[in-house]
């Protein structure tokens, strides 16, 4: 494949990523179908760009999403415990700032969750959705957007908007990591846009971008999204535990 062909594949794949994320947001906020229809659309939206990129670039899907066996899984246990504990602590610290009744209403009306189906849905989120997001954002998008041109654009933007007197150079890899983290954060806006006040909303968006960067660091450290997946899943366990406590009316009354 020539350099021009590689560039065309990259640009087409980037456009597909933007279309996929825009489509997921519109489905979440405008169309608002049932949870499982929405889930099927998201699976398709996140899978098609990866499959097409793999076909166009002659790379395997596992290579395209950076999925391989972890050689040293033991250190991940500490990260999983820290993520689980951290989410629970943040919730109990800031729960007075949250609209718990609104969150519960959103889960039960918008997502159609009930006491009979929520545990099944939460299990899907932990086991499958966590992997889908890691494969898409940490495995695929971060590498797709890693290029010298992207790094140069981010360097220019940062210098112009924030630090005009400081010459900051963003590497190709860091450009991909940053854009992946930002897109990961913005993607979640459609889910929790009505849950928080403005201050908490901004804090949550910034926090999610930071989480995205940390998960990216884990994926790079262990050379596989399998590592970031198990950590992501542990965070989702704590989030879904809070959701279950709300739905079963153990908290938030």
Domain boundaries, the chain: 67-247
pLDDT tens digits, residue range 64-110? 999 999 888 888 999 999 999 999 998 988 888 777 888 888 788 77
Q: What pLDDT sits at residue 219?
A: 96
How many whole angstroms separate alpha carbon 164 and alpha carbon 109? 48
pTM of the entire predicted model: 0.90
Question: What distance lies between CA 105 and its chain's CA centroid?
Answer: 23
pLDDT tens digits, residue range 134-164? 999 999 999 999 877 776 776 666 666 665 5
Higher pLDDT, residue 253 or 64: 64
Q: What pLDDT sits at residue 66?
A: 96
pLDDT tens digits, residue range 172-222? 888 899 999 999 998 987 676 666 667 777 888 888 999 999 999 999 999
Q: What pLDDT sits at residue 185?
A: 92
**CB atoms closer than 10 angstroms to residue 220:** 17
How many whole angstroms separate alpha carbon 229 and alpha carbon 215? 8
Max CA distance (Å), the chain:
62
User: Mean pLDDT lowest for which of 35-39, 136-140, 227-231?
Assistant: 35-39
């Amino acid at each position: 494949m020539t350099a021009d062909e590689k560039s065309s594949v990259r640009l087409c794949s980037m456009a597909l990523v933007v279309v996929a994320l825009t489509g997921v947001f519109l489905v979440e906020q405008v169309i608002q179908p049932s949870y499982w229809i929405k889930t099927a659309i998201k699976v398709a939206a996140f899978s098609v760009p990866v499959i097409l990129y793999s076909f166009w670039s002659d790379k395997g899907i596992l290579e395209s999403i950076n999925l391989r066996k972890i050689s040293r899984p033991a250190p991940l246990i500490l990260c999983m415990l820290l993520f689980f504990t951290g989410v629970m602590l943040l919730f109990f610290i800031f729960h007075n700032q949250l609209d718990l009744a609104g969150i519960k209403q959103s889960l039960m009306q918008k997502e159609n969750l009930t006491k009979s189906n929520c545990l099944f849905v939460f299990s899907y989120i932990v086991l499958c959705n966590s992997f889908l997001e890691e494969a898409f954002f940490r495995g695929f998008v971060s590498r797709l957007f890693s290029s010298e041109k992207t790094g140069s654009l981010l360097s220019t933007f940062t210098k112009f908007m924030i630090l005009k007197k400081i010459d900051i150079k963003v590497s190709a890899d860091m450009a991909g990591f940053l854009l992946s983290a930002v897109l990961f954060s913005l993607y979640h806006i459609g889910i929790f846009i009505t849950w928080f006040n403005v201050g908490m909303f901004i804090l949550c968006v910034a926090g999610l971008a930071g989480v995205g960067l940390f998960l990216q660091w884990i994926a790079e450290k262990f050379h596989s999204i399998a590592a970031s997946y198990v950590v992501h899943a542990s965070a989702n366990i704590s989030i879904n535990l809070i959701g279950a406590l709300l739905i079963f009316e153990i908290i938030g009354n």
